[in-house]
């Protein structure tokens, strides 16, 4: 809306990183419950909030490096 292209780029990259992280079976308990269809999910099936944020950050870092390489 305000024409901030850098913010738009970052937002889209963060969204892609979050979705890719979830698609790689790294998710919070609420998403694991939905995926498995039961409220009883083993601890090994999900990440706590901090672990999930770290996993998204790792994916985002990889995406940033890829995009930086594309722009060179």
Residue with tokens 């979050």: 18
Token pair, residue 14, equals 């963060």
Number of helical H runs and strand E runs in the chain = 3, 0
Residue numbers of the domain that contains 26: 5-71
Nearest C-alpha neighbor of 56 from the set 33, 30, 27: 27
Number of compact structural domains in the chain = 1
Confidence band for 72, pLDDT divided at 50, 70 and 90: low
pLDDT digits (tens, 9 = 90+) for 26-37: 999 999 999 999
pTM for the structure as a whole: 0.86
Question: Minimum mean pLDDT among 2-6, 20-24, 44-48: which range?
Answer: 2-6
Q: How far apart are CA 12 and CA 3, in angstroms?
A: 14
Confidence band for 1, pLDDT divided at 50, 70 and 90: low
pLDDT digits (tens, 9 = 90+) for 44-65: 999 999 999 999 999 999 999 9
């Amino acid at each position: 809306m305000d024409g901030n292209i850098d913010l738009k780029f970052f937002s889209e990259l963060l969204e892609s990183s979050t979705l890719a992280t979830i698609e790689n079976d790294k998710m919070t308990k609420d998403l694991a419950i939905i995926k498995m269809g039961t409220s009883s999910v083993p601890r090994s099936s999900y990440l706590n909030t901090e672990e999930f944020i770290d996993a998204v950050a790792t994916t985002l870092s990889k995406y940033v490096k890829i995009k930086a390489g594309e722009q060179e």
